[in-house]
Amino acid sequence: MYDFEDTTSTVRVTTVCVVGAGYVGLTAAVCLAQLGHRVVCVETNRERLATLQRGEVPIHEPGIEELLTRHARSGRLAFTDDLDVAMTGVSVALLCVGTPPGPDGEPDLRQLGRAGADVVAAARSDVLLIVKSTVPPGSCEALELLAAGHARDGVRVVVASNPEFLREGQAVWDFFNPDRVVVGIDEPAMQSLVTGLYPAQWPLLLCDRRSAELVKYAANTFLAVKISFANEVAQLCEALGADAHHVLTGVGLDARIGGAFLSPGPGFGGSCLPKDLAGFIAVSQSVGQSAPLARAAQTVNAQALAGLLSKLDASLGSVRAKRVAILGVAFKPGTGDVRFSPGVGLGEALARRGALVRAHDPLADPGSPDVEMVADPYEAAAGADALVIMTAWPEYRELDHQRLREVMAGHVVIDAVNVVSIGEVAHVDYDVYGVGRGLAMDFAPVLWPPLEWMLDVEPSDVAASR
Ligand SMILES: NC(=O)c1ccc[n+]([C@@H]2O[C@H](COP(=O)([O-])OP(=O)(O)OC[C@H]3O[C@@H](n4cnc5c(N)ncnc54)[C@H](O)[C@@H]3O)[C@@H](O)[C@H]2O)c1
């Protein structure tokens, strides 16, 4: 599927210990092996480790299986849970463990602290820890202090930052086609140990550690702000009778703005944006700043789910004891990841309100008692009073709407990702509510304010004439 072959030329071949075999660690492990490095990947989850040692891939990520098979054979890639084995003769470790949000949005860095301490304890000579996990500024310096306390006599510990920017569903492609490689290191003599992992022609931003750490937080916060802005514009479109698709396409065609992440929808989810936005706010707060823009993005995002619930309430009367079908529980198409997924959030919110929820997804299964998963979208829709499309999977653009309508009990369709072509379903006895598509209403109120602003009269006269 991918052409990996032209990337092996200019790396400084290194033996690397990759710690954590999730989306980031497993991608890094197979891709670094492809670049010519020797990689030992350490994973503490026994089930995940056993799967990998059998040569199977525990996540859906195109390209990983091919590289895993290739480099298990080439001898450049191995999996273990034994750090003593992994760190034998190894002085570079890439930390790719989880940094989930704590209850107040503060990042939970315990996995990172533990992994760093364990790696250093296993190291027999000077060790460079490279933090790929997303962490708040100051974490590399803190980890250096913490880990040094676990080092054997005479072993020196240096920590560098090298945040990861891959997107789930295209992680391998992103690894080999980075917009930038960011490396934060405060020891010039050790820079090349990090930068040499990657081909020299890849765009490199070399800086101090705090800046590198903040690049990742700031980038994800900006993406979250962009999505929330699109959703705010979409709400305005609904109220004004405009079409958010046209509006945001027109906005995004401006080269200074760009169209990526400007689609309205059910709000952002996944394991990164909500967590990193909350982390950005927590970090700002920790240094006495309030991050008003980031907070606003969070508020708008929470309103997206509330907006869907009120559309359902408005169209069904109440959702209590109603059957609702959800199409799509993955947080975005192309992945089976359901962490902080809007589809799962909606299912659980509906169940709390007494609705019966049945869902379909081509890949994902949240394993939630509130959401019954079925194998086919038409089975999910059977008997449903309302259907909600929550993930823009390509197959949901190809649905047979006549057939869906025949199996449904009701006629309400909430298209939270705007995949239904209104023109193509005009003949179906449906009420389709998209996001940011103006609803049929009396638009006269929209006309009065501009008229008032045009006329050379006192505003009070216009008001009196209405
Ligand atoms: N998923 C993404 O799209 C993405 C993109 C960029 C950055 N990130 C960041 O990268 C980090 C990892 O994300 P992820 O999605 O790969 O997480 P993940 O939860 O999928 O994977 C983390 C893995 O680390 C393992 N692990 C934890 N402690 C360990 C230890 N001491 N030794 C060995 N293995 C250990 C876990 O068992 C798990 O398999 C996070 O900080 C995340 O914010 C994620």
Per-residue model confidence (pLDDT) at position 6: 53
Average pLDDT of every residue of the chain: 94
pTM, rounded to two decimals: 0.93
Residue 168 CA, ligand 1 centroid: distance in Å? 12
Percentage of the chain lying above the pLDDT 90 cut = 89
pLDDT the model gives residue 103: 87
* pLDDT of res. 463: 61
Nearest CA owner, ligand 1 atom 37 = 45
Tell me whether residue 272 is one of the annotated catalytic residues.
Answer: yes
118 Cα nearest atom in ligand 1: 31
Long-range contact list for 305-308, CB < 8 A, 24+ apart? 305/266, 305/267, 305/342, 305/345, 305/346, 305/349, 307/235, 308/266, 308/346, 308/388, 308/414, 308/416
Q: Where are the domains of the chain?
A: 5-207, 219-433
Please list the helix, strand and coil fractions of the chain in percent, rounded to the nearest 5, in that order. 45, 15, 45
Select from 12, 44, 33, 49 the least CA-distant residue to 193: 12
pLDDT for 466: 59
CA of 461 to the centre of ligand 1 (A): 63
Domains 5-207 and 219-433 share a fold: yes
Q: Whose CA is nearest to atom 24 of ligand 1?
A: 20
Q: What residue's CA is closest to ligand 1, atom 36?
A: 20
Strand partners, 128: 92, 158
Q: What is the mean pLDDT of residues 379-387?
A: 98
Q: Ligand 1 pocket by C-beta < 6 Å: which residues? A: 19-25, 42-45, 48, 96-99, 111, 114-115, 118, 133-134, 164, 166, 168, 271-272
The predicted-structure confidence for 271-308, as pLDDT tens digits, reads as follows 999 999 999 999 999 999 999 999 999 999 999 999 99
Q: Is pLDDT at 3 greater than 60 in this prediction?
A: no
The position carrying tokens 């209403």 is 441
Cβ-Cβ contacts under 8 Å for 189 (sequence gap 6 or more): none
Please name the fold of domain 219-433: Rossmann fold (3.40.50)
Kindly report, residue by residue over 42-54, the tens digit of the pLDDT: 999 999 999 999 9
Yes or no: domain 5-207 corresponds to CATH 3.40.50.720: yes
Q: Report the alpha-carbon distance of residue 395 to residue 330 in Å, rounded.
A: 14
CA-proximal residue: ligand 1, atom 35 (nearest): 20
Output the CA 21–ligand 1 centroid distance in Å.
7
Please determine, for residue 386, whether its predicted confidence score (pLDDT) is greater than 70. yes
Ligand 1 centroid to 43 CA: how many Å?
10
pLDDT tier at 1, thresholds 50, 70, 90: very low
Which is the closest atom of ligand 1 to the Cα of 42? 33
Question: How many other CB atoms sit within 10 Å of the CB of residue 153?
Answer: 4
3-state secondary structure of 34: helix
Q: Given a cut of 60, is residue 410 above it in pLDDT?
A: yes
Ligand 1 atom, smallest distance to 25 CA? 16
CA of 140 to the centre of ligand 1 (A): 16
